[in-house]
Homo-oligomer: A and B are copies of this chain.
Amino acid sequence: MITSRNNALIKNIKKLQQKKYRLRESRFLIEGVHLIEEALAADVGIDMLVKSEEAPLLPFDIGEHRVVEVEASVFTTLSETQTPQGWLAVCKMPTDTPMIEGDVLLLDGLSDPGNVGTIIRTAEAAGMAGIYVSEDTVDLYNDKVIRATQGALFHIPVVAGNLKTIVFSLQEKGIPVYSTAAHAECSYQDVQPRQAYALLLGNEAQGLSSELANITDQTVSIPIFGKTESLNVAVAAGVLMYGWLNQREEQR
């Protein structure tokens, strides 16, 4: 059992709380029983599990994975949650860029990790094929993003890239790219994507960059019946994805 927070392995694991070390090592941390179960189910590469001396037994099989036991106080220094469950894992980032075919989301510069994680969770639930995020979107391997995805990050391809290039390449394939704005003339109910579509969402405060807004095929709004100016972006994403799913079902 590791009893010192100055142990070299512990120090290296702790560094993965920072984006720069995550990128350097191509590793990230997940914490808690549910996320570890999801990662195992999705065949995410796991370097090692770390358990606190006080951690409960896991209710599933972890195969041959290495388990490092640490003193409770050492676990606390590694934990980023308010009520640690005593389990975390060091995971490998995916190295291959997956093919994405079907409905896609594009996230332009979203900064709130809870929003991004919730959107990934909703997109996976709604059966979207994948998500593209701009380089300035909050880091996907931020612990708050991963927690908010509830593990969905392991089940849907999420790829960072230049959104302008991606929009053009989607349009070349005949896939319409929709964006949202508070006062667009067209309501989302009037758009009925029958085939694959792309939905582009902008930053919580600034909205979409004008460079991207100018090249989308159609801007739609969600009608507001109160005095609120706009919806939270994660809620808007859910309303649009499920709204369009339903329209498609009705057409069948």
Q: Is the CB of A234 within 8 A of B234?
A: yes
Chain B neighbourhood of A152, CB < 8 A: 226-228
Q: Is the CB of A231 within 8 A of B114?
A: no
A21 at the interface (CB under 8 A from B): no
A55 at the interface (CB under 8 A from B): no
For residue A239, which residue of chain B has the nearest CB?
A: B242
A18 at the interface (CB under 8 A from B): no
Within residues 224 to 249 of chain A, which ones have a CB less than 8 A from any CB in chain B? Answer: 224-232, 234-239, 242-243, 245-246, 249
Report the copy number of this chain in the oligomer: 2
Q: Is the CB of B226 within 8 A of A124?
A: yes
In the assembled complex, the CB of A45 is this many whole angstroms from the nearest CB of chain B, namely 18
Known: A235-B238, A238-B238. A121 touches B228 (CB 8 A): yes
For residue A228, which residue of chain B has the nearest CB?
A: B125
Chain B neighbourhood of A67, CB < 8 A: none
Known: A235-B234, A246-B189. A227 touches B124 (CB 8 A): yes
Within residues 210 to 236 of chain A, which ones have a CB less than 8 A from any CB in chain B? Answer: 222-232, 234-236
Q: What is the bound-complex CA distance between A242 and B236, given in angstroms? A: 10
Q: Is the CB of B125 within 8 A of A231?
A: yes
For residue A223, which residue of chain B has the nearest CB?
A: B245
In the assembled complex, the CB of A85 is this many whole angstroms from the nearest CB of chain B, namely 13
A142 at the interface (CB under 8 A from B): no
A125-B222, A125-B230 given; name 16 further pairs at CB < 8 Å.
A41-B227, A122-B228, A125-B225, A126-B225, A152-B226, A152-B227, A155-B226, A155-B227, A156-B226, A222-B242, A225-B245, A234-B234, A235-B235, A235-B237, A239-B239, A239-B242
